[in-house]
Amino acid sequence: MRHSVIFIFSLFVSFTAVSQSKVDNILQFNYIASSGGGNGSVVGLKYIASLPVGQNFTAGAGIGHDLWFDNRVKTFHFSSILADVRYYFKGNEMGSNFFATPGYAVKVSDGSSSGFNLNTGLGSKIPLNDQQKLMVGLGFAFHNVNDEAFKRNFRGVTFNLGIVL
């Protein structure tokens, strides 16, 4: 798990250093408040590089790492390859938006699981200064766990907090 977080942070720093001004480098933390049918919760860290596509849309790709806790015990972790699409209601890549972030978790170790995941909801991009923006969001997340010992779908309300450089 530590290696995945270090990898995500390293990608974020390296892409931020070399990217052009039109690329949004998003480092996002998310928390899924409840998992369907259990007392579980999920915390995650994502890095997404996003580009404008027209006046109201952005599209991007990235990676993420999620930890699933069931009854406060770490049960699984996921390393996902992600896509990210956002529709900004007022255009110009600022303000309120609808987002959809589908992905697929790849099994990277014995303690990890694979499966489809989706995070969708409403968010807002708030300018902090000329270059940095704060991203907040509230949505719904779905994860499909494919593991030999444990097959389950879990879902819940998700809170997202990120920074754009």
The enclosing domain of 99 has a CATH number of 2.40.160
pTM: 0.81
- Note the pLDDT of residue 144: 80
Domain limits for position 60: 2-164
**Digit-coded pLDDT (tens) for 10-52:** 655 555 554 556 788 899 999 987 655 556 778 899 999 999 9
Task: Quote the number of domains for the chain.
Answer: 1
CA atoms within 13 A on the CB side of 24: 29
**Residues belonging to the chain:** 165
